[in-house]
Amino acid sequence: MEAGRRVTGLVLPILAVIFLLYGLTGNLLSGYFSHKGFSIPEIIEYMYLTTEGIFGTPIGVSAQYLILFVIFGSFLLKSGVGDFITEIALAIAGDKRGGPAQVAVLSSALMGSVNGSAVANVVTTGTFTIPLMKKIGYTPEFAGGVEAAASTGGQILPPVMGAAAFIMAEILGVKYVNIMYAAIIPALLYYFGVFITVYFRAVRMDLRGLDKKEVPSLGKIFREKFFLLIPLIVLVYLLVKGYTPTFAAFFGILLTVPVSWLTPRNKMNLSKILEALESGAKGSLSVAVTCAVVGIVVGISTLTGLGSKIAGAIISLSGGNLFLTLVFTMIACIILGVGMPSIPAYLLTANMAVPALLKLGVKPFVSHFFVFYYAMLANITPPVALAAYAAAGISGGDMYKTGLEGFKLAIAGFIVPFMYVYNPVLLGIGGSALSIITTCITALIGVTFVASSFEGYLLKPMNKIERVLMMIAGLLLIKPGGLTDIIGVVIGAGVLLLQIGKRKVTINKNLS
């Protein structure tokens, strides 16, 4: 418990203590959540001698896979991949409208696909991107919110997703590469939502990009440093070819060292190798301790039947309606994930919320992805948004307002899990190429409508009625179906025509 407190803070250990007390005193409770009660020896035996407790799936996955991937991420950063990614993002988006914010989104996405930790991502890229955003006029809170929202998405972006993704693969009994494939479209939709929201804000505030002189040449960067991506490319290749994650990560670590020798500035000598190993070991310990503590919570939940009771309560509240069940599950995921890293957030929600979705016929793969996605988004959901708090420390902004800005920026992404529950083709489950393309187009339009509604801008500032109409249009596009799609597109097109009319009036006034 003490190790858990030092690694994750007070929230998770306190939760574990509450669950232990629940296991001991359930017989003193009355009503729906009561149980027969268990003695201390019974609880200790269950925690230590079964695969449902401390030494369960999470700690096993941590020892087998996660340690090597954390070390691999440390080696990549020491080899200079972090600087390379930031330079690429700056070259691509630096001089565009709201450039530094787009740089933050792009660099954090790329970095997150390597290290899979929202807070670590914020600290790594935020020290560069947040001052850049403040430089062109973004408030400290918005700059921190952009970085937090972008860094959080890295946990759902392949190839190296968050540690929880490996645990999900083990729970579902599928290969990690299957999780990678399934995550591609949802991750792209999430980042599209953040990109388009940042763009609308930049246009509304009339914020320009950086001067072209401040932006490096993309071609020059690739010519000088493209080989730094070789370990990552090889890792993906090995995973796709069916090699185990353990072998792929280990081979990637070995390859990173000689590749770094091609750049004198980032050449990994013995000192840097030891630093990378030390950094990886520290990161691995935090993952292992977190998995052990959350094992207590999950174990008590299984022992007492609390998980199935919560699932039953969710279904009862929703009246068996799938949409309402999804909404209640989303809320439960966010509440259970408050103030906790992604691993315990996912494991708790998977244990308590997934059964509700399974009872309503949602496939296990889709159900786990649904709660996994929202468990990740807990990092930017107030009141305790860990990634946003880390970003606020860099930006100097108010922590709560930074969390609120990050939440608003990612709000369009909050509808994505609903989309793939109703249409699993977004996870690569079934469907033809044509259905995948049409579904993606519909999803992109829906995300754009929701983002414009929250930002109050499309081509011109929108009034309240236009914002409400755009929100309705976006929500109608969540559920696939000819009628809802047509109505949603028609409503959105109507608002767009009004915006075009406003724009023409403004142009004519300026000309006259």
Report the chain's mean pLDDT, rounded to a whole number.
Answer: 83
Domain boundary among 251, 274, 289: 289
Percent of the chain with pLDDT strictly greater than 90: 4
| Paired tokens of 254 | 């070995």
Which residues lie closer than 8 Å to 112 by C-beta, 6 or more apart? 118, 121, 150, 151, 152, 153, 154, 155, 157
**Which DSSP letter does residue 62 get?**
I
Instruction: Give the total number of structural domains in the chain.
Output: 2
Domain boundary among 256, 271, 289: 289
Is a pLDDT exceeding 90 seen at residue 353? no
Comparing CA positions, the residue from 13, 90, 109 lying closest to residue 410 is 109
Domain boundary among 240, 271, 289: 289
pTM summary value: 0.83
What is the CA 480 to chain-centroid distance, rounded? 24
Cα–Cα distance for residue pair 182/338, rounded to 1 Å: 26
| Dihedral sign (CA 178, 351, 14, 338) | positive
Tell whether 256 is covered by a domain. Answer: yes
Is a pLDDT exceeding 80 seen at residue 330? yes
Cα–Cα distance for residue pair 180/105, rounded to 1 Å: 20
Most distant CA atoms of the chain, gap in Å: 86
Tell whether 12 is covered by a domain. Answer: no
Domain range holding 157?
A: 58-289
Residue with tokens 């020491």: 78
- Cβ atoms of 200 and 412 within 8 Å: the answer is no
- Whole-angstrom Cα Rg for the chain: 23
pLDDT bracket for residue 491 (50, 70, 90): very high
**Which DSSP letter does residue 64 get?**
I
| Dihedral sign (CA 113, 116, 118, 124) | negative
Percent of the chain with pLDDT strictly greater than 70: 95
Is a pLDDT exceeding 80 seen at residue 509? no
In this prediction, residue 468 carries a pLDDT of: 92
- Cβ atoms of 447 and 196 within 8 Å: the answer is yes
For residue 476, give the amino acid letter. Answer: L
Is a pLDDT exceeding 90 seen at residue 268? no
In this prediction, residue 508 carries a pLDDT of: 63
Tell whether 263 is covered by a domain. Answer: yes
Same domain, 81 and 227: yes
Q: Give the mean pLDDT of 102-108.
A: 80
Tell whether 334 is covered by a domain. Answer: no
Residue burial 407-428, b: 16+ Cβ < 10 Å; e: rest: bbbbbbbbbbbbbbbbbbbbbb
Q: Give the mean pLDDT of 432-452.
A: 86
Tell whether 276 is covered by a domain. Answer: yes
CA distances from 223 to 217, 228, 260 (A): 10, 11, 15
